Amino acid sequence: MKPKKKHSKFKSKDTLAAYLFISPMLIGIFIFFVFAFLQNIYFSFNKVGAFDTPTFVGIDNYRRLLTDPIFLIALKNTIFYTVLGVPLVVFFSILIAWFLNQKIKGQSIYRTAIFLPAITMPAAIGLLWRWLLNYQYGIVNYIIVKLGGTAVAWLSDTNTVKWAILLVLVWSMVSYQVIIMLAGLQGISKTYYEAAEVDGASKWQIFFKITLPLLSPTIFFVTIMSTIGILQIFDFIFLMIQRTAVAYQYSMSLVSYFYELAFTQNLRGYASAVSIVLFVIILIITVIQFVGQKKWVNYD
């Protein structure tokens, strides 16, 4: 935003109107965001059960996190999902969007089909993939065996359960992000391509020298959004893995652990500390990404 000329005086009629206009929003934001945020920070320094009043415990909750094996697993899993998930989502969404942006017949049919998971509720996706990944009768294992592999206990083997979650996560997220990538591709002016074709550039050169740099703001946006989204992964883990099974722990993310602590074990102060840690992680990663973008994102 450009710096504007300072207005030393506001019209009082305008000021009154403006505050009346924003007051419902401000009140709501104060209650559900600002106050809630501060209260959550306060809780993280307290022991809070389901019904009793909070008792102050200082930084005990945070200290306990350092030696809590389940927290460390959840942290490791969350990092696993993010480090693998974000590049996969970005890569496939660029790839599919590029193909969907080519001028060929039937493009609208492909688009309709590929965007479908984006508008489907995670609860249904979870149910669906539980069935697809079923050990004995699932179609995924059927295909794997047909191709000469061995069936995988996707949802119960403690080693593979993370990969199953990652698979569904990427599948559903790509569908959504492709829509944004495609809009980004469509926003690139055709004159760039025409100029490049006149110069005799190959498709390959056009993609790397023109498309990618001009798409970089969208790529950056998708990277940020999918990072923040995956760091908060909860739905598919909750829906696809039996919560009483051993595998649940091996797939658990920070948010799953937060949920279990806060609403099944009623350790709300401790859960608050987990959510604060997640907030700090998101903050740091986003800041790093915003600083790093200057090196590769191209705004003109």
Footprint of other proteins on 219-278 (CB under 8 A): 221-222, 225, 228, 231-232, 234-235, 238-239, 255, 258-259, 262-263, 268, 271-272, 275-276, 278
Instruction: Single out the residue of 290, 294, 151, 133 nearest to residue 224, CA to CA.
Output: 290
- Told to check if 216 binds other proteins by CB under 8 A, we report no
Give the pair of three-digit tokens for residue 64: 């306990």
Q: How many residues touch other proteins (CB under 8 A)?
A: 96
Assess 100 for contact with other proteins (CB under 8 A).
yes
* Site string (112-141) toward other proteins, x via CB under 8 A: xxxxxxxxxxxxx-xxxxxxx-x-xx-x--
CA 178 – CA 184 distance, rounded (Å): 10
- Distance, in Å, from the CA atom of 299 to the CA atom of 278, rounded to the nearest integer, reads 30
In whole angstroms, the minimum distance from the beta carbon of 254 to other proteins comes to 9
| DSSP secondary structure string for all residues of 14-78 | HHHHHHHHHHHHHHHHIIIIIIHHHHHHHHHTEE--SSSPPEE-TTHHHHHHHH-HHHHHHHHHH
CA-to-CA distance for 165 and 155, rounded, in angstroms? 9
- Is residue 85 part of the contact set for other proteins (CB under 8 A)? no
- Tokens linked to 224: 């940020």
Cβ 11 to other proteins shortest distance, Å: 8
What minimum distance in Å lies between the beta carbon of 66 and other proteins?
20
Q: Per CB under 8 A, which of residues 143..172 are in contact with other proteins?
A: 171
- Residue 43 touching other proteins (CB under 8 A): yes
210/225 with CB nearer other proteins: 225
Count the helix, strand and coil residues of the chain and give each as a percent rounded to the nearest 5. Answer: 75, 0, 25
Which among 17-25, 83-91, 157-165, 205-213 is the span making contact with other proteins, rule CB under 8 A?
17-25
